[in-house]
Amino acid sequence: MLLKDEVGMLQRVPLFSGIEPAKLKLLAFTSDRVSYRAGEILFRQGDEGDAAYVILSGKADVLVDSDSGPIKVAEIVPNSIVGEIAILCNVYRTATVRAASPLEVLRIRKDHFLRLMREFPDMTIEMVRVLADRLSHTTADLIDARSAR
């Protein structure tokens, strides 16, 4: 997959959809292309967050530790980003991500990501919008969950 295809992929990630292609290209160029085999771990719950990952191809499982061992809480498909919370808020990884099939990802380093946000306010606003959107969804889910009880 070439740089320009990666840019196309990034554009399809909601978080980056509003950012102009030239900046996305820079983001892609300065990120590492990493491949994982099925079963390999991208990062573990409790690790320090040093990068976010954009899935280019393949699938990954999101696992959370529980008393009865890890529970799969979500599945990540191409064109989605994972691990961005930990690099935005300086918290430890809240879940483990494991490749469920051969996986191609773009690894965006924390300092690069923050630097881009600082330099391109458009991107930051877009990001805030997406996060706020997610928060309102989560809140709605929470209300649903409470009222259902």
Partner 1 sequence: MEPSLARYIWTHTKKQQVGIVLIVLLSMIPYFMSFDLPKLIVNGPIQGRGFEQADATRPFLKLHYDLPFIGEVQFFHGFQLDRMQTLFALSFVFLLLVVINGLFKLYINTYKGRLGERMLRRIRFELVDRVLRFPPRYFKRVKSAEVATMVKDEVEPLGGFIGDAFLQPVLLGGQALTAMLFIMVQNFWLGMIAVVIVAIQIVLIPRMRRRLIVLGRERQLTARALSGRVGEIVDGIGTVHVHDTSNYERADIAARLGLIFKIRFDLYQWKFMVKFLNNFLAQLTPFLFYMIGGYLVILGRLDVGQLVAVISAYKDLPGPMKELIDWDQARQDVQVKYQQVVEQFTVEGVISPRIGALTVDDPGPMADPLSAINLSMADDGGAMLLDRISLQVKRGETVALVSTATGGAEALAEAFARLDWPNSGRVASGAEDLLELPEAVTGRRISYASSDVFLFHASLRDNLLYGLKHAPLTSVTYDGAAADQRRWNINEARRSGNTDLDVRSDWIDYASAGATGPHDLFEAIRRVLDAVVLSRDILDLGLRSSADLTRHSELAGRIVELRAALRTRLEHEGLSELVVPFEPGAYNKEATIGQNLLFGAAAGPELADRALAANPYFASVLKQAGLDRTFYEMGMEIAEQAIELFADLPPDHQFFQQLAFMSAEEIPAYETLLQRLKNRPYEGVSENDRAMIVSLSFAYIEPRHRFGLLSEELMGKIIAARNQFYENLPPDLQNAVERYDPAKYIAAATVMDNVLFGRVGNNHPDAPDRIRSIVYDILDELGLYSELLDVGLDFNVGAGGRRLTAGQRQKLDVARALLKRPDFLILNRPLSALDQRVQDKVLRNVLEEARRDGHSPAIVWVVTNPAMGMMFDRVVVFDLGRLVEDGTHETLLAGNGIFKELLS
Q: Which tokens belong to 25?
A: 């290209």
Cα–Cα distance list, 32 to 81, 107, 109, 128 (Å): 14, 5, 8, 25
118 touching partner 1, by CB under 8 A = no
3 state SS of 1 = coil
25 touching partner 1, by CB under 8 A = yes
34 touching partner 1, by CB under 8 A = yes
Closest CB to partner 1 among residues 37, 72: 37
Query: How many residues belong to the site for partner 1 (CB under 8 A)?
Result: 19
Distance in Å from the first CA to the final CA of the chain: 48
Binding residue for partner 1 (CB under 8 A) from 35, 136, 138, 139? 35
Closest CB to partner 1 among residues 60, 130: 60
65 touching partner 1, by CB under 8 A = no
Classify residue 144 by burial, with Cβ atoms within 10 Å: 0-12, 13-18, 19+. Answer: exposed
Q: Give the footprint of partner 1 on this chain (CB under 8 A).
A: 1-4, 6, 22, 25-26, 28-30, 32-35, 107, 111-112, 115
